[in-house]
Structure 1
């Protein structure tokens, strides 16, 4: 998909601009889109890029069940929002995988435990959402609007690994 490729290249560009070596991971690598290292290859981290444009009402990114369990101190997610038009500045959140896994797991468990619009039991699926404001879904998991702000443009989190 072109949007995903655009997101990967945007994030890669941001790391290169900061003097880090960044490259696309080989096709088929399950949990990383980019590999980032320092100039001598001493330190390394992997980046999974999730890209969106301003569609839908929750402002979030699609995730899968597998993301509940993917935790590594050397894996970061780049949640990129290109906005609603080509002139909107991109917003990127660099989030540690442990934080992502916890948010996805907690929110999905609470969503399953909460009755649907007509009071029915919700059906489980492999789809998850990573949101900038879980209270929009009526989920109080300690991640209201603004909880992602410390991760906005937090490129230094990858720089600390590299």
Structure 2
């Protein structure tokens, strides 16, 4: 029987796992000072740079959780480029490897804010008002998209093992191209979809659907 990993140990392990993965991909990476409130790891490869926030859970739990700051923001000093969250899911079995989700921080921020807004504006089970001062922000890595804050197994799928996301100045089309590749589409097909009149959100949702084998009927 494997011994459960204490939460503090899991957090430390997650950071070292990410350091190892970066190093084996040619990045020079280092942990930031422990009192750094924004980032956990800074990484450089040639002229590429990434500031990384690591969030770790073990397979004994299904959720990733953050705490908002007094001003309601979750991520301090967030930038639109070169700022990433690496979510680490450590298996309970010591001989198994973690799963990694490499997600631009603004994407995580949008998810958390959207879910919290929906939660706080929806009455509780007894009709009571929700606490707008609640600082917990979380989502569940499961496939039950019918519940608020759930269904993130599908949302995270395109980002699983996507270390390519760390490339410098990777603009929106680069990220869409990665999603298209994981969904089995060529770049030409991606361009055709973009020309079909889909907005950015519809295009991303379609690519995620293709990746999960859900939406196979829409043709470029």
TM-score (norm 2): 0.63
Q: Does 1:139 align with 2:142?
A: no
The structure-2 alpha-carbon separation of the partners of 1:135 and 1:71, relative to structure 1 and needing over 3 Å to count, comes to farther
Mapped contact 2:139–2:152 kept (Cα < 8 A): no
Q: For 1:47, which of 39, 46, 52 is the aligned residue?
A: 52
Cα RMSD (Å) of the superposition?
A: 2.4
Offset from partner CA, 1:50-106 (integer Å, 9 cap, x none):
0001234xx221112232675311210001111333234311100001101100100
Equivalent residue runs for 1:91-102 within 5 Å: 91-102=99-110
Structure with the larger helix share: 2
Higher mean displacement: 15-24 or 66-75: 66-75
Q: Distance in 2 between matches of 1:86 and 1:34?
A: 24
The structure-2 alpha-carbon separation of the partners of 1:69 and 1:38, relative to structure 1 and needing over 3 Å to count, comes to closer
Higher mean displacement: 3-12 or 113-122: 113-122
Q: Residue 161 of structure 1: SS of its match in structure 2?
A: coil
Larger Rg: 2
Q: Does 1:123 align with 2:131?
A: yes
Q: Residue 63 of structure 1: SS of its match in structure 2?
A: strand
Q: Distance in 2 between matches of 1:11 and 1:52?
A: 13
Aligned residue for 1:34? Answer: 41
* Structure 1: segments with no counterpart, 5+ residues: none
**Structure of higher RCO (CA pairs closer than 8 Å, 6+ residues apart):** 1
Equivalent residue runs for 1:6-25 within 5 Å: 6-25=13-32
Q: Distance in 1 between matches of 2:31 and 2:145?
A: 34
Aligned residue for 2:122? Answer: 114
Aligned length: 156
Q: Residue 148 of structure 1: SS of its match in structure 2?
A: helix
* Structure 2: segments with no counterpart, 5+ residues: 1-7, 170-220
Mapped contact 1:80–1:92 kept (Cα < 8 A): yes
- How far has the Cα of 1:25 moved from its partner? 1.0
